[in-house]
Structure 1
């Protein structure tokens, strides 16, 4: 597999950013030149005997070519100095106007300021999800995350895909460390990688894993053979949408009611119940207690479907009451958001529901 990048391609991807910076640089140069002409004019007229305010006023009216008369009569030296100042000043003013008109009409300044504002927004994000690749899979993942209240940063090399996007985005190669840092990978909770080719997805996965060894990375595998390679590259899980889609269709054919129920629970926003996970931390009060002592259904109202052992261990469906809860274990539960909220509060505090309901808003 050849890495899909080159110096010329990277220059093309950064062209928009460079244009915006060039526009700001030209504006800064133009304004600096105008300020320099004003200072030179003021100093010159002061040397000719003008008071400071009169010298400044004479300089501004001369450079602006407004046609006012001189503040004081000018001798031959003053007239010669004024001629030079007019030539320099008028040229500088015209250059300023040209630079400003070009920056506004071509949109470079507006785009650059928009990017700076977006960079500040991304810098404030915490626990967001980065979606690399905004094709069909990336769009679907972004919509799902957005509908569930998660903040998303999109990364893509194709500007046409990013047009009109309301989510924060970074235009660039997801395999580039600087691009991933610009997307806030140091503060992200997860990364979804769904690029156009398995090679691009593999390199982006490698880069993301090198920057964040603890990050949850979900990579899209376009072929079955690439799933194992993506896991070796650092993906937490490699997903083949075609395989999942085929199995889902077969499930509907064989177990229509079960498949439809799970589909509604996982994807229907109008349904009030969800299958959620609650991971136990080192300091959670329920760690070391048995499931019988905690009594998740009776105490919180949600149903305990399974327990997963720490460090991505095995699942235990319908765990027995004498199962001891360990730090790092994950509880898979079925219930409403309020019921799951009670369980999270109970896990952290160890107090029964009646003692923590007030902190949960009922």
Structure 2
């Protein structure tokens, strides 16, 4: 899979790191040259007609517009869709008033930064309320690091009936099933007495 990334500022670089971690080939376009290992880079104006004459959009599975200016992003969407109408386009939107305009211009998905930010804040607030409720009901969430010689190594998430293992994290990758490996972190949910028994059996 190959992705064309328009805009290589803070957001663009963050997107590129995620794509690379999933073995997706990335070509970045920006007027300022900022190199990153593994990313093909084109230094040019994203609104230049010459760019879309030079770049063969048929080579790409999708385009991601990560420009900081909504007007520039809108124009970029229109230029890409004019060149290749069926290319999947994701666009960053800073001002919610441009969300509909970008969709009309042809963006398949528009990520509204301000709305997402507010949702994250609300999620944090309500998560605290949820945690209080869980504590009231004697339900706790604890995280553990799995050592090399832990009895957990080699066991599967679905092997446990008394506790719920929410997920496994290792080297920045998170999954919710499969085999537990040494060096990973696990998030476990259960009543406090059950968690204590779990710790005594597997974590000591």
Same fold per TM (> 0.5)?
yes
Structure having the larger proportion of residues in helix: 1
Q: 1:149 offset after TM fit, Å?
A: 1.2
- Alignment of structure 1 residues 132-281 onto 2, 5 Å: 132-159=6-33, 162-163=34-35, 166-255=38-127, 269-273=172-176
Secondary structure at the aligned position of 1:225 is classed as: helix
What SS class does the counterpart of residue 68 from structure 2 fall into?
coil
* Contact 2:5–2:64, Cα closer than 8 Å, also in 1: yes
Matches within 5 A, 1:99-118: none
CA positional deviation for 1:180:
3.4
**Relative CO higher for 1 or 2, CA cutoff 8 Å, sep ≥ 6?**
2
What is the TM-score normalised by the length of structure 2?
0.61
Q: 2: distance between equivalents of 1:269 and 1:128?
A: 23
CA-CA distance at 1:183 after TM superposition: 4.0
Q: What is the deviation of 1:231?
A: 0.7
SS of residue matched to 1:168? strand
CA separation of 1:143/1:163 partners in 2, compared to 1, >3 Å: closer, same or farther? Answer: closer
- Following the alignment from structure 1 to structure 2, what is the Cα–Cα distance between the partners of residues 200 and 241? 16
Question: Partners in 2 of 1:128 and 1:180 — Cα distance?
Answer: 16
TM-score by length of 1: 0.36
The answer to whether the 8 Å contact 1:221/1:227 transfers is yes
Contact 1:176-1:204 within 8 A present in 2 as well: no
- In structure 2, C-alpha distance between the alignment counterparts of 1:183 and 1:170, rounded to whole Å: 10
Q: Deviations over 1:63-84 (max 9, x none)?
A: xxxxxxxxxxxxxxxxxxxxxx
Alpha-carbon separation, structure 2, partners of 1:237 and 1:228: 11
Higher fraction of strand: 2
- Correspondence for 1:304: none
With over 3 angstroms needed to count, the CA separation of the structure-2 counterparts of 1:272 and 1:196, relative to structure 1, is closer
Query: What runs of 5+ residues in structure 2 fail to find an aligned partner?
Result: 132-140, 142-166, 179-204
Displacement of 1:241 in angstroms is 1.6
The alpha-carbon distance between structure 1 residues 179 and 241, as it changes in their structure 2 partners (threshold 3 A), is same
Contact 1:153 1:183 in 2 (8 A): no
Q: Distance in 2 between matches of 1:190 and 1:222?
A: 21
Once superposed, what is the RMSD of the aligned Cα atoms? 2.6
Aligned residues: 141
